[in-house]
Amino acid sequence: MENSGVVLLGGAHGSLAVARSLGAQGIPVSYITHDSPLPGWSKFVNETISWPGPDHRDAIAFLLNAAEKHRLAGHLLIPAADPEVRLVSENVEALSRFYKIMLPPWDRLKWVCDKPLMYRRATELNLSIPRTYEIESGEQAKALDLVYPVILKPNMGGGPSHIAKAKVIRADDHDAFLAAYLEAAREIGAGNVIVQEQIPGGGESQFSYAALWHDGRPVADFTARRTRQYPVDFGYTSTFVEVVDEPELIKTSRTLLTSIQHTGLVEIEFKRDRRSNTFKLLDVNPRPWSWFGLCAAAGLDLGAMMFALYDGRKVTEASARTGAAWMYLARDAVAAATLVKRGQIGLSDYFRSFASVRAWATYSHADPRPGFIDLPLTAWRVLTKRILRG
């Protein structure tokens, strides 16, 4: 294909994994970011382009101009973070003048990205979800008699609000719930705060469906357990993920994605409720996810498959190797230390898990620089974004 290549829009570890997968095949990769510089340190990224971000009023104009200025016309545009996904999906028609896009338009995608709509669709399809409370105002929140603990989360990922950055906030009693709800409502609007039961369990109960879809049908898919996460109770990110065989998750996920005629990459998060031994739908991420590097390492290179479809080539059927694992070493060490201290795992269990690791979040022998810079970069981001900003 003339002038073929890939443009990664935003993201961090998932974007790095995609860049490595495609760059190793000689496919030109450009990275557009306003946030994490990590993927740009990869030797497989030809060019890093700074931009004002997906929430800027000129975001679409910037992308259209970049196609001409940086010779990106005809490239596959892959949004790799939540706000970027929405921006691209809402503007598929305009962006398709210059880029190739494998993502449904927003009138379809919103049914899995906007959590209230997603839970409504799941209920219509008879899929299991956590008990969810519909709250539209502070007055209604004050009067509710909830079963505690509950969790609060935003209707969509991304954004500068406290609840969006935290991803999940736990409340163990009415006073804590009301304070958290009112603060979140001020930030993102009362109707955009999701309040749910807390399903017992930590990372060992977290599972994912990962796949590439094309024109409403799965091209390749597999399931994984997000065994450890950081923080351990409500993970901001997975730290140890391993391929497992869970056919029920595949069936459920295919039902949901068929309903929107999905196309492109997708990860769907579930939690096993040990009280009923059912998988309950939590979240859908139609983009490269943090542990995307596990795909190629397990023998199912979804990034390469996606580019092959874009390039008009046939995709060869394959399956992921059960037991293959991915680790985010720095944060997994902290998560494991917490679990060992609680008596939830033994130190020997932690060290045994290294034997199954086939991919690391940042380090690669073929591309070592991002691995060396990730630790000081993470420390700098914590210092500047959390400590100095309070």
Return d(Cα 171, Cα 136) in angstroms, integer: 18
Other Cβ atoms within 10 Å of 272 Cβ, number = 21
> Which domains, ranges and CATH numbers included, belong to the chain?
6-104 (3.40.50.20), 131-197 (3.30.1490), 203-384 (3.30.470.20)
Q: How do residues 225-236 score in pLDDT, each as one tens digit?
A: 999 999 888 777
Structure tokens at 118: 């997603």
Q: 319 and 278 in contact (C-beta within 8 Å)? A: no
C-alpha torsion sign, points 98, 77, 265, 35: negative
Whose structure tokens read 């962006």? 95
* Mean pLDDT of the region 245-256: 98
pLDDT value of position 1: 41
Bridge partners of 78, per DSSP, are 8
Per-residue pLDDT at 387 exceeds 60: no
Q: 324 and 114 in contact (C-beta within 8 Å)? A: no
Percent share of the chain, pLDDT over 70: 96
Q: How do residues 274-332 score in pLDDT, each as one tens digit?
A: 999 999 999 999 999 999 999 999 999 999 999 999 999 999 888 999 999 999 998 99
- Judge residue 94's burial from the number of C-beta atoms within 10 Å of its C-beta, 0-12 exposed, 13-18 middle, 19 or more buried: middle
Residues 6+ apart with CB under 8 A from 369: 41, 42, 43
Return d(Cα 330, Cα 327) in angstroms, integer: 9
Q: 193 and 182 in contact (C-beta within 8 Å)? A: no
Q: 208 and 267 in contact (C-beta within 8 Å)? A: yes
Return d(Cα 303, Cα 195) in angstroms, integer: 34
Per-residue pLDDT at 390 exceeds 60: no
Return d(Cα 229, Cα 332) in angstroms, integer: 7
Whose structure tokens read 């060019």? 47
Other Cβ atoms within 10 Å of 361 Cβ, number = 30
Per-residue pLDDT at 179 exceeds 70: yes
Percent share of the chain, pLDDT over 90: 85
Structure tokens at 252: 């459920």
Mean of the per-residue pLDDT values for the chain?
94
Q: How do residues 65-75 score in pLDDT, each as one tens digit?
A: 999 999 999 99
Reported as type and span, the H/E element at residue 268 is strand 264-273
Which of 159-168, 241-250, 329-338 is predicted least confidently?
159-168
Per-residue pLDDT at 219 exceeds 90: yes
Per-residue pLDDT at 199 exceeds 80: yes
Q: How do residues 115-132 score in pLDDT, each as one tens digit?
A: 999 999 999 999 999 999
Structure tokens at 12: 């961090």
Return d(Cα 53, Cα 307) in angstroms, integer: 25
- Judge residue 374's burial from the number of C-beta atoms within 10 Å of its C-beta, 0-12 exposed, 13-18 middle, 19 or more buried: buried
pLDDT value of position 233: 84
Per-residue pLDDT at 265 exceeds 70: yes
Q: What is the DSSP string of 169-229?
A: EEESSHHHHHHHHHHHHHHH-GGGEEEEEPPS--GGGEEEEEEEEETTEEEEEEEEEEEEE
Per-residue pLDDT at 389 exceeds 70: no
pLDDT value of position 382: 62
Q: How do residues 19-75 score in pLDDT, each as one tens digit?
A: 999 999 999 999 999 999 999 999 999 999 999 999 999 999 999 999 999 999 999
pLDDT value of position 344: 94
Structure tokens at 300: 């199912």
Per-residue pLDDT at 159 exceeds 90: no
Bridge partners of 238, per DSSP, are 229
Q: 14 and 288 in contact (C-beta within 8 Å)? A: yes
pLDDT value of position 279: 97
For the chain, what is the radius of gyration of the CA atoms?
A: 20
pLDDT value of position 281: 98
C-alpha torsion sign, points 258, 261, 263, 267: negative
Return d(Cα 173, Cα 311) in angstroms, integer: 54
Return d(Cα 66, Cα 74) in angstroms, integer: 12
Structure tokens at 171: 């409340």
Whose structure tokens read 């039961």? 197
pLDDT value of position 375: 78
pLDDT value of position 72: 97
pLDDT value of position 250: 98
Strands 278-285, 264-273: pairing is: antiparallel
Name the pTM for this structure.
0.94
pLDDT value of position 157: 82
The one-letter code for the residue type at 263 is T
Structure tokens at 71: 């010779």
Split at pLDDT 50, 70, 90, the class of 383 is low
Bridge partners of 193, per DSSP, are 154
